[in-house]
Chains A and B, each alone.
Chain A
Amino acid sequence: QQQVKQSPQSLIVQKGGIPIINCAYENTAFDYFPWYQQFPGKGPALLIAIRPDVSEKKEGRFTISFNKSAKQFSLHIMDSQPGDSATYFCAAHDRGYSGGSNYKLTFGKGTLLTVNP
């Protein structure tokens, strides 16, 4: 059961382009949505995160758009650079039955982004 669906699987853009990565979820218990960037041989690094009561969040060149009614969210990378070439994962926090927040993360399958010079 894939609880967070991510698309596309891979994406190629030219330098300066604006890649967009989309995610959708079903579980209404998800309450926090981070995006991670992962380079080969490294662990995921947190990029930006959003709560469902906010429709958009910007940090530097990264923007999350969130549509709560559609249960969809997306990552936009402005003025993309070759150094942004990496795998990007959307994720969602699940409250779980411990009752607390910031519990386990459920990840999408990832998007391999290539930014050509």
Chain B
Amino acid sequence: DTGVSQDPRHKITKRGQNVTFRCDPISEHNRLYWYRQTLGQGPEFLTYFQNEAQLEKSRLLSDRFSAERPKGSFSTLEIQRTEQGDSAMYLCASSLGTRTNQPQHFGDGTRLSIL
């Protein structure tokens, strides 16, 4: 049973560049979440997919951020025109959507550093 996989693990880029991260959830999981974690803080919710539908976006997700899950499997998170404040760990999680609560399982994240 493979866990949530994220790629790349680390990304260093110059301010103003665009970056894209990929998340592969656990295979049978239909729900996928993106979170952002800064140093010394807990993860903060960014957005949520059920299958291919993006059902919720946090106010943290500015217009420069876009997320997709085109076939209800893997997801991508793109940040355009990166800023210093975008430096963070971007975490992906997945869960099996049922009528009862199912735990969210996290990947090891992509650490973004903006020079």
| B3 to A, closest residue via Cβ | A43
Q: How far is the CA of A6 from the CA of B50 in the complex (A)?
A: 29
- Quote the shortest CB–CB distance from A103 to chain B (angstroms): 7
- Quote the shortest CB–CB distance from A28 to chain B (angstroms): 16
Say yes or no: B102 contacts A107, CB within 8 Å: no
Query: Which residues of A are found within 8 Å of B95, using beta-carbon distances?
Result: 102
B109: CB under 8 A from chain A? yes
B104: CB under 8 A from chain A? yes
A42: CB under 8 A from chain B? yes
- Quote the shortest CB–CB distance from A37 to chain B (angstroms): 11
Say yes or no: A41 contacts B101, CB within 8 Å: no
Q: How far is the CA of A6 from the CA of B35 in the complex (A)?
A: 19
Query: Which residues of A are found within 8 Å of B42, using beta-carbon distances?
Result: 6, 89, 91, 107-110
With beta carbons under 8 angstroms apart, the residue of A6, A41, A43, A100 that contacts B4 is A43
- Quote the shortest CB–CB distance from B41 to chain A (angstroms): 6
